[in-house]
Amino acid sequence: MPDLPSRYPMIEPDAKAPTVRRLRQLSRLLDNLITIPGTQVGVGLDPILGLLPIGGDFVGVILSCYIVVEAARIGVSRATLGRMVVNIIVDGLVGAFPMLGDLFDFAWKANTLNIQLLEEHLKSPQQTQKVDKWFILALVAGLLLIAIILVILPMIVIRWLWQALTGG
């Protein structure tokens, strides 16, 4: 595998802690910012963004992508990165459906799951590897495509519902 260019340097083990701490904070902001009183259920910006018509889920996916890109920079394996992407895809696609998606966003914590995958991977540093720039580019392009679909899908559903209600 070719080395990553200098803008994607492999992060040294001592430098990983601040990155992981920053990613944990982002995950908490997106998934568990506020705990509902009397419960252990957390609500973050991701489900709140999902309530915004059309662009909310797009923004949520883009923010989640940052965690995956940083995980790749740290040296997380392709298999783990793939599982992280699947978590984001599930969150984004199901979250795109009105009502059902909004309820799902409160329960499915893709960013928290991705931080858990990252931390599990870091427990076995011998598996840490450089991921080539083309793999990172493919990941980002795929997630961007999903984000674009998340903008188009609700518009199609709204148009279909409008036609069904108005008979036009």
What's the CA gap between 116 and 92, in Å, rounded? 19
Condensed to tens digits (0 to 9), the pLDDT of residues 66-113 reads 999 999 888 888 889 889 999 998 888 887 777 777 788 888 899 999
What's the CA gap between 168 and 163, in Å, rounded? 5
Q: How confident is the model at residue 61 (pLDDT cuts 50, 70, 90)?
A: confident
Q: Is residue 6 part of a domain?
A: no
DSSP bridge pairs for 43: 34
How many domains would you assign to the chain?
1
What's the CA gap between 114 and 85, in Å, rounded? 9
Q: Is residue 139 part of a domain?
A: yes
Question: What is the per-residue pLDDT for 126?
Answer: 59
Provide mean pLDDT across the span 155-161.
Answer: 82
The residue range of the domain holding 74 is: 13-166
Q: Is residue 2 part of a domain?
A: no
Provide mean pLDDT across the span 158-167.
Answer: 86
